[in-house]
Structure 1
Amino acid sequence: MKRKKVVVQHLIEKTAKHARRKEGGNMAGKDEFGTTKYVVYAEFEANGVVERPDVVGAIFGQTEGLLGDDLDLRELQKTGRIGRIKVDVHTKAGKTYGTITVPSSLDRVETAILAAALETIDRVGPAEARIRVIRIEDVRATKRKYIVERAKEILEGMMQQEIPESQELTDEVKKAVRAKELIEFGPEKLPAGPHVPFSDSIIVVEGRADVLNLLKHGIKNAIAVEGTSIPETIIKLSKERIVTAFTDGDRGGELILKELLQVADVDYVARAPQGKEVEELTKKEIVKSLRSKVPAEQVINEIFYKGKDFYEVMREKNREREEKEARPLIQPQPAQPVKMAPREEPKPQPKPEPKREERIVKPIQRAPSGELNRFSDFIEKVKSNGSAILLGENGDVVAEVPVRDLLSTLGEKEGINAVIFNGIITQRLIDIVSEKGVKYLVGARKANVVRRPIDLKILTFAE
């Protein structure tokens, strides 16, 4: 019996050596997963300390001749139908634990038989052992899953990088040209259109994207403030040019507009439609917004003194315009005063007109007093035709121009003693007429006046 045990141990060691040679030689360089269909995963437990070659030797030695020549592990490795057997071992408390991985290119049935054969091994080296197959993995199913996921990623990449349409190519070229047209103006290097350095009028917007959008639609005299703090360049330009503030239709645009009106000499105010930004407007919306601009004096009076916002001002302006347009249609109706008079009283349309007339006519009917007497004729004239009259030292008329041209005319004329117009007297107008040496400034009322020159008399006839 003792001799038999020695012979068995010798055979085990010989088998282990043979397995090590096979592992280092025959299988060197082989890609065991190149043609693999299935992978057998098993775990083992040995009641003693054994090493990796002992496990490999036991697998080859105890399965030899068990399944016949067709399923002999050595023959299957020679033909490449079984890949390199991987064994991981670790010891704990005098026992050895580990995992076995067997790649197989056999069919499903043969792989299952081979996996079952592994569980017949009951000894590894000198120790008793137990092997249990955990699972058999179908490598092709894993590959198919990977292929599907990777194909999705590739397809998404292709869809994102698809060939652009001709219109997209055109827009891309135009965008590049517009970016080249964009210049940096002033010490702050503010984004601006190419016409800003020499244009008589400029449009002040909020950011670089707004300037680019205006350039896209052919407007090249825009400049951006680039933040909530108004740059000194904008303040200086506002004293030399005709400035239109064009801001977004949101809360941020309202804040920038209020600051602009306080620190810069703005002539007109335009705003994007409520809830929209200048950078996203179409050409039609841009043109409509700029055509609907409002004189800055009116906006200052309404926002700072009556607590209204820009859109309320615009709605009132539109209502007044609609009423004026509708008035000629209403006036011809009373062709028969005796018959129509009783019918007109209950109608809702004539009712607001007396209030409007009362608001406009009442200040006009006030008789001038004190120093206003000397200008009474001119005051009545500007009330009737809405013009501005410039008088010389001798009281002669130097110029009579529309109110919108008052500032430009003041810059051209010399020797002006008095200015009479039916409008709002602002701080900017006071500063300009003071520099020109004007002695009398006569207007309907004052707004936002914080300082008054000593040698300038300011008279109002509607307050």
Structure 2
Amino acid sequence: MSNKSGIVKYHVKLSFEVDGLVERADIIGAIFGQTEGLLGPEMNLNELQRVSKVGRIEVNTKSTSNTTNGDALIPMSTDIDTCALIAAGIESIDKVGPFDCVFKLEAIDDVRAAKKDDIVRRAKEIKQRWATKTVSEGESMLKDVHEGDSKRLSTYGPSKLTCSSGVFDSKWIILVEGRADVINLLRAGYDNAIAIEGAKIDESIKELCASKDTVVAFIDGDRAGGFILKELTSVVKIDYELRADTGVEVEELTPQRIDEILRPIADEIKHGKPVAVLKSSDDKPVAEIASRIFPNLNETLEAVALDENEKEIFKVPISEVVSKLSTQSGIKYLLLDGIITQRLLEGAKNAGIQCVIGHRVAKLTNSDGLNLKTFGDLGVA
């Protein structure tokens, strides 16, 4: 089995039964042919194979006197969401040639899990072999880093919320979600962070924020982060609302990226400039639009285009939206029940669209000039 990308993440395994005698090629033909266009052009198996996201499909068949059954294995290097969509698409196939058939998903195996098990097993062997040796330089360095962080960590309030020591004296504080976020900000040089540790905001957080000149919320860029930010802003006056990059948690950001996000605020406060309130107020109109459109758009696999007055210009299946954009003008907002892909991004830019909202944003290049949001970012999904 081969995959041009060289990195297989998942094996999608399906079984099938056909009420007739068919060949292996007939099964493969049905898989490709009957899923084509079903999930949009970017989800076509031919396209996914072209960009090395799907490997060679393996099919095994067994025949009786008048039926054919067997299994199919599809190696994929996409995310789990795409694997699930492809599996569901194949399960919808009901014909192979003229014969009725049933496809059933048996498993989606994480190929990397086996590799992780091998790595852990080998690591245990290495540890056992070298355990009697002197402590390595690397272990000493890790110990120094850990102790250095621990000395600057503290707790706040009756609930003993994790914070860094600068929280007590600093004129401004940074609210993050958890202990790991506080530690990561310490590594980036920010010692004035406190963890809210849950969606229910502790009373001591409210009291602390009321005593500070400036309060910054720095929340994960995932769907849960959107809900937490919404809850936080409902009970605490926030001067700056910041999010990690889409789909990324604050604890996963590099120190350099953390500094890029926080440095403009830190510089304003340090030089005594008035702090401009940077709320989601810019996103408020977008959030209101998303809240209104989402209930009738979710799970439809469709896209809706609105003009500057928020009036609907068109509503089409996702598979047709890129071609539709090339023939329309005056679109300001595009909302879709799907993923914001590079192809969609280019089509939106060419159409002069200002804001695109979807369920998820793929890894994109050249996205400057477009406001890209997920329904999770806006707190509506």
TM range (shorter): 0.3 to 0.5
Q: TM-score, normalised by structure 1?
A: 0.31
Judging by fraction of residues, say which structure has more helix: 1
Q: Which structure is larger by alpha-carbon Rg, 1 or 2? A: 1
Indicate the structure whose relative CO is greater, using CA pairs within 8 Å and at least 6 residues apart: 2
